[in-house]
Amino acid sequence: MKAIEISEPGGPEVLKEAVCPRPAPAEREVLIQVRAAGVNGHDLHHRHRGSHPVKPGETLLPGLEVAGEVAAVGTGVSKCKVGDKVCALLRGGGYAEYAVAPEGHCLPVPEGYSWVEAAALPETSFTVWSNVFEEAGLQPGESFLMNGGTSGIGVTAIQMVSALGHDVYATAGGPEKCKVVTDLGAICAIDYQAEEFDQVIARETNNGGVNVILDIVAGDYIQKDFASLAQGGRLIIIGAARGLEEKLDLRPVVMKHLTLVGTLLRPRDNDYKRRVAEALLEKVWPLYAARRIAPIIDSVFPLNNAADAHRRLESRKHIGKVILEVAN
């Protein structure tokens, strides 16, 4: 099969076309003929490092999410069958004509969705649900702040949390991006280029703060996150565009009984991801089917132009998801 591999650690130019053996599904896995694949921040880190931790039998090819048709099934598979249209969360291997995924990490492509739209669903949906609703335990009546509102994760989080009945605040850079996040359901868009978000949150909440923050920025945002949280608030850090080394005043953590969690989705075990998939199928997939939530596609590149897809993501000019289209 054709695939994109990382020839050595480095910039986008190290993404090279290659011919690789087609993978075979192991027990409880399915083989997917890939039609489209999502491009994510992890892929950039993977490329810079040249590799990522793998388990025996796993691939070093990049790519954490795909959409396509089930081409073969391994032993013990009971829910997926050949020909099913699925989107799936992977630990790697999505930049290819074929990829394998645990059956439990596959979800049906919602009716009427294109392959490109379906490929934009898994990684952000799993990430938002697992962090906002499981790790942080967002409860009815609680409010939410998304730091990084026009990222792939941000546009999903704003829509999902808003659709499930919560007040959503979001940071974004510039008036155009702020309009995007309010159009998606945020009750307040904060232009971080013009205002300090913690001051805006204090003003908009009468100094009450928000209950949960999902942060992909970190760095100097962390102290402002503490200031923006309500009593008993929870901060989940899943990215670090501004770094993870920062001198912090932890007094707000103690005084307001705050919880700080840092987490990554990819290292979590298969059973955990299967449970998240089940929750998504019950709680979120009907919202996608009804288009109450919809993927926001920034740009689409052919698989053999993965380098430009990475350049687009690294530019931080994107709004929503960057997708690779695979011609089979």
In a domain, 289, yes or no: no
In a domain, 279, yes or no: no
**Where in the sequence is the domain holding 82, given as residue range(s)?**
2-121+295-325
The dihedral over CA atoms of 284, 286, 289, 294, expressed in degrees to the nearest 10, equals -30
- Examine the domain organization and report whether 116 and 145 are in the same domain: no
Residue range 13-64, pLDDT digits in tens: 999 999 999 999 999 999 999 999 999 999 999 999 987 788 887 899 999 9
- Examine the domain organization and report whether 158 and 183 are in the same domain: yes
Question: Does pLDDT of 262 surpass 90?
Answer: yes
Strand partners, 171: 147, 190
- Examine the domain organization and report whether 31 and 106 are in the same domain: yes
Domain with residue 69: its CATH number is 3.90.180.10
User: What predicted TM-score, i.e. pTM, was given to this entire model?
Assistant: 0.95
The dihedral over CA atoms of 264, 268, 271, 272, expressed in degrees to the nearest 10, equals -30
Tokens (6 digits) for 187: 């009750």
| Backbone φ and ψ of 202, nearest 5° | -60, -45
Residue range 289-319, pLDDT digits in tens: 999 999 999 999 999 999 999 999 999 899 9
Q: For residue 179, what pLDDT band results from cuts at 50, 70 and 90?
A: very high
- Burial tier of 4 (Cβ tally within 10 Å: 0-12, 13-18, 19+): buried
Say if residues 187 and 168 touch (Cβ distance below 8 Å): yes
Of the candidates 243, 262, 281, which is a domain's last residue? 262
Residue 149 vs residues 117, 176, 319: alpha-carbon distances, Å:
19, 12, 9
| Overall number of domains in the chain | 2
